[in-house]
């Protein structure tokens, strides 16, 4: 499902109005009616229900006036609170404000703190608050009257329905700037906005309805919109299907280069992640001193010893061995638990640039790439990087807050500059491609915030590439399947679930999507 930024949505709006001649008031009417339809799905009859419509000064407020009119027509009791003065309202919004004025609806201007209590009292006696304060025109921070009104709305304990986007949530990033309305429902128009799916904004949206407001589909389809939500149908279509005649050789050869003396678990989980994703033959190459330990941990995975430093990490002599193993593999996953010894980092960089197969680069291999992202352009195939925000911060020299403040923008810029696929992990993982294409994942849960789940993801993506998926599709599908496995594992209790629980749930997630 595509998601449009505020500017893309404005462009679509303007084309519909200017090129197709659809009056803005028609779009506004359709937007308002879409919210009424949603309210009708909650309450069979709106008659006698009490509504407070909180309206801003722009077209989001205009939608609010349309909603107020239809509510009044259905016999509901409506109070409209306008943040500002009527004189300041113009355009399509003013047309609809004048209509409800002529209808004699109760319109109260909020122009100072003396008016705040009016909202508080009316809210206390309402069944529902309609948030038509700010939509895609929101800029900067919420402050002053707006901030206090949002506080009152959130404290009222009433059902809140947001018009287009919860006020105070930035449409493009999901950032909350000052205050944001906590809605139970959001009705968004045309296309959904990224901020409805990215935290913390995603926590304000409640149940999202995408409403068609009559914009010609040709207008939407011709827009070069590059943000998407990963949907089950898309993943179902691209996941590999196994032939009845399959044997372990037909499901790919995965090489995992991972582990160091005190970090064997990460290596084991990455290797098993590939297996659980359906990879045929998985080889784990790790420092020789881990050989026996890993061989005991992993029954189905072949283990190959590598030359190691005195601290138990792979050393320069291991490069030749790793490239030899890589030459017989369909994909290499490198990084989990490798350690950060400079000699190991140097060996990693040499291997990444010399390997001739697709790469999934994670954890300490990302550590080795800090300051060396230019090497990614030398990779034989488009590499997949799977950083968490901390690793992304180190690679981009940003701080973690800056990364999380604009996850889509940071991932997109890095993918374009470095020439790679970026899987920026976290609550709502973002997958970014060099051409600017973005996929936002909505599977998964907070129970996955536990050590090792990232190692499993690395293995899952590698395992899908080993089975013939492109790195592009494997990154998108892998993220979705991994999150779904987390949701399956969380059915046994979200808090306290482990990466091993998630690992075991990967086949069930695959089965849930493909039926096999």
Ligand X SMILES: NC(=O)C1=CN([C@@H]2O[C@H](COP(=O)(O)OP(=O)(O)OC[C@H]3O[C@@H](n4cnc5c(N)ncnc54)[C@H](O)[C@@H]3O)[C@@H](O)[C@H]2O)[C@H](O)CC1
Binding site for K ion (CB under 5 A): 131, 162-163, 167
Minimum Å gap between C-beta 260 and ligand X is 49
CA torsion through residues 212, 217, 221, 222, sign:
negative
Minimum Å gap between C-beta 190 and K ion is 15
Q: Nearer to ligand X by C-beta: 25 or 291?
A: 25
Q: Residue 213 binds which entry of K ion, ligand X, none, with Cβ cut-offs from 5 to 8 Å by kind?
A: ligand X
Q: Nearer to K ion by C-beta: 162 or 235?
A: 162
Biggest distance spanned by C-alpha atoms of the chain: 84
Q: Nearer to K ion by C-beta: 207 or 342?
A: 207
The span of 129-137, 304-312, 416-424, 497-505 binding ligand X (CB under 6 A) equals: 129-137
Q: Nearer to K ion by C-beta: 58 or 339?
A: 58
State the Cα angle at 280 between 275 and 286, rounded to 5°: 60
Q: Nearer to ligand X by C-beta: 136 or 227?
A: 136
Q: Residue 146 binds which entry of K ion, ligand X, none, with Cβ cut-offs from 5 to 8 Å by kind?
A: ligand X
The span of 25-33, 115-123, 203-211, 288-296 binding ligand X (CB under 6 A) equals: 25-33
Tokens of 380: 């034989």
In contact, 87 and 122? CB cutoff 8 Å: no
Q: Contact with ligand X (CB under 6 A): which of 99, 137, 323, 416?
A: 137
- Among 59, 66, 53, smallest CA distance to 129 is for 53
Kindly state whether residue 195 participates in binding ligand X, applying the rule CB under 6 A.
Answer: no
Could you write out the DSSP letters of every residue in 170-209?
-TTT--B-S-----SEEEEESS--GGGTSTTTHHHH-EEE
Look at residue 77 and give its three-state secondary structure: strand
Provide the mask over 201-230, with x wherever binding to ligand X is found by CB under 6 A and - wherever it is not: ------------x-----------------
Q: Phi and psi of 510, rounded to 5°? A: -60, -40
The span of 138-146, 348-356, 378-386, 393-401 binding ligand X (CB under 6 A) equals: 138-146
Q: Residue 167 binds which entry of ligand X, K ion, none, with Cβ cut-offs from 5 to 8 Å by kind?
A: K ion
Minimum Å gap between C-beta 138 and ligand X is 5
Q: Nearer to K ion by C-beta: 162 or 176?
A: 162
Minimum Å gap between C-beta 223 and ligand X is 12
* Cα 28 from Cα 132, distance rounded (Å): 12
Provide the mask over 155-194, with x wherever binding to ligand X is found by CB under 6 A and - wherever it is not: --------xx------------------------xx----
The span of 54-62, 95-103, 258-266, 278-286 binding ligand X (CB under 6 A) equals: 54-62
Q: Contact with ligand X (CB under 6 A): which of 96, 123, 126, 136?
A: 136
Q: Residue 58 binds which entry of K ion, ligand X, none, with Cβ cut-offs from 5 to 8 Å by kind?
A: ligand X
In contact, 88 and 164? CB cutoff 8 Å: no
* Cα 201 from Cα 158, distance rounded (Å): 19
The span of 135-143, 265-273, 353-361, 432-440 binding ligand X (CB under 6 A) equals: 135-143
**In 35-65, which positions are buried (b, 16+ CB within 10 angstroms) versus exposed (e)?**
bbebbeeeeeebeebbbbbbbbbbbbbbbbb
Q: Nearer to ligand X by C-beta: 177 or 398?
A: 177
Name residue 431's beta-bridge partners. Answer: 423, 439
Query: What's 45's DSSP letter?
Result: -
Q: Nearer to K ion by C-beta: 81 or 480?
A: 81
Q: Nearer to ligand X by C-beta: 221 or 243?
A: 221
Minimum Å gap between C-beta 118 and ligand X is 19
- Among 5, 25, 8, smallest CA distance to 214 is for 25
Strand runs (DSSP E) across 342-441, as ranges?
Answer: 359-361, 384-385, 421-424, 430-432, 438-440
Number of residues that bind ligand X (CB under 6 A): 28
Return the number of other C-beta atoms located less than 10 Å from residue 374's C-beta: 11
Kindly state whether residue 140 participates in binding ligand X, applying the rule CB under 6 A.
Answer: yes
Q: Residue 131 binds which entry of K ion, ligand X, none, with Cβ cut-offs from 5 to 8 Å by kind?
A: K ion
In contact, 398 and 417? CB cutoff 8 Å: no
Q: Contact with ligand X (CB under 6 A): which of 3, 15, 22, 31?
A: 31
Query: At a CB cut-off of 8 Å and minimum separation 6, what does 34 contact?
Result: 187, 189, 209, 211, 212, 213
């Amino acid at each position: 499902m595509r998601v449009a930024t505020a500017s893309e949505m404005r462009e679509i709006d303007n084309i519909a109005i200017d090129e197709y001649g659809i009056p803005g008031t028609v779009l506004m009417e359709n937007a308002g009616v879409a919210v009424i339809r949603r309210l009708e799905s909650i309450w069979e009859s709106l008659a006698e229900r009490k509504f407070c419509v909180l309206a801003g000064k722009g077209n989001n407020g205009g939608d609010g006036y349309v909603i107020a009119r239809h509510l009044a027509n259905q016999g509901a009791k409506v109070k409209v609170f306008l943040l500002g003065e009527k004189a300041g309202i113009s355009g399509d919004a003013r047309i609809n404000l004048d209509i409800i004025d002529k209808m004699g609806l109760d319109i109260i201007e909020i122009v100072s703190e003396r008016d705040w209590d009016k909202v508080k009292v009316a809210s206390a006696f309402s069944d529902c608050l309609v948030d038509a304060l700010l939509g895609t025109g929101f800029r900067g921070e919420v402050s002053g009257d707006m901030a206090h009104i949002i506080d009152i709305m959130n404290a009222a304990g009433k059902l809140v329905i947001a018009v287009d986007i919860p006020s105070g949530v930035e449409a493009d990033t999901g950032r909350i700037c000052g205050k944001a309305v906590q809605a139970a429902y959001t009705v968004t128009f045309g296309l959904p906005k990224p901020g409805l799916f990215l935290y913390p904004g995603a926590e304000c949206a409640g149940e999202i309805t995408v409403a068609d407001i009559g914009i010609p589909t040709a207008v939407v389809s011709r827009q070069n919109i590059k943000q998407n939500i990963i949907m089950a149908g898309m993943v179902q279509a691209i996941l590999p299907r196994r032939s009845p005649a399959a044997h372990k050789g037909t499901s790919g050869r995965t090489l995992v280069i991972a582990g160091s003396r005190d970090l064997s678990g990460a290596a084991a989980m990455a290797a098993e992640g590939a297996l659980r994703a359906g990879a045929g033959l998985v080889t784990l190459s790790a420092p020789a001193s881990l050989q026996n330990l890993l061989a005991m941990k992993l029954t189905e995975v072949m283990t190959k010893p590598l030359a190691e430093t005195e601290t138990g990490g792979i050393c320069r002599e291991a490069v030749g061995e790793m490239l030899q193993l890589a030459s017989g593999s369909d994909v290499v996953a490198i990084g989990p638990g490798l350690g950060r010894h400079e000699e190991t980092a140097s060996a990693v960089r040499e291997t990444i640039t010399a390997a001739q197969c697709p790469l999934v680069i994670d954890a300490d291999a990302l550590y080795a790439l800090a300051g060396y992202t230019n090497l990614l352009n030398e990779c034989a195939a488009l590499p997949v990087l799977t950083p968490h925000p901390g690793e992304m911060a180190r690679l981009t020299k940003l701080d973690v807050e800056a990364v999380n403040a604009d996850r889509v923008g940071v991932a997109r810029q890095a993918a374009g500059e470095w020439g790679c696929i970026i899987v920026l992990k976290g609550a709502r993982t973002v997958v970014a491609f060099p051409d600017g294409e973005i996929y936002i994942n909505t599977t998964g849960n907070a129970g996955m915030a536990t050590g090792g789940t990232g190692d499993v993801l690395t293995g899952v993506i590698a395992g899908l590439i080993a089975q013939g998926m492109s790195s592009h599709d494997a990154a998108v599908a892998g993220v979705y399947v991994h999150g779904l496995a987390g949701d399956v594992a969380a059915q046994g209790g979200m808090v306290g679930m482990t990466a091993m629980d998630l690992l075991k749930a990967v086949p069930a997630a695959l089965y849930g999507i493909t039926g096999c």
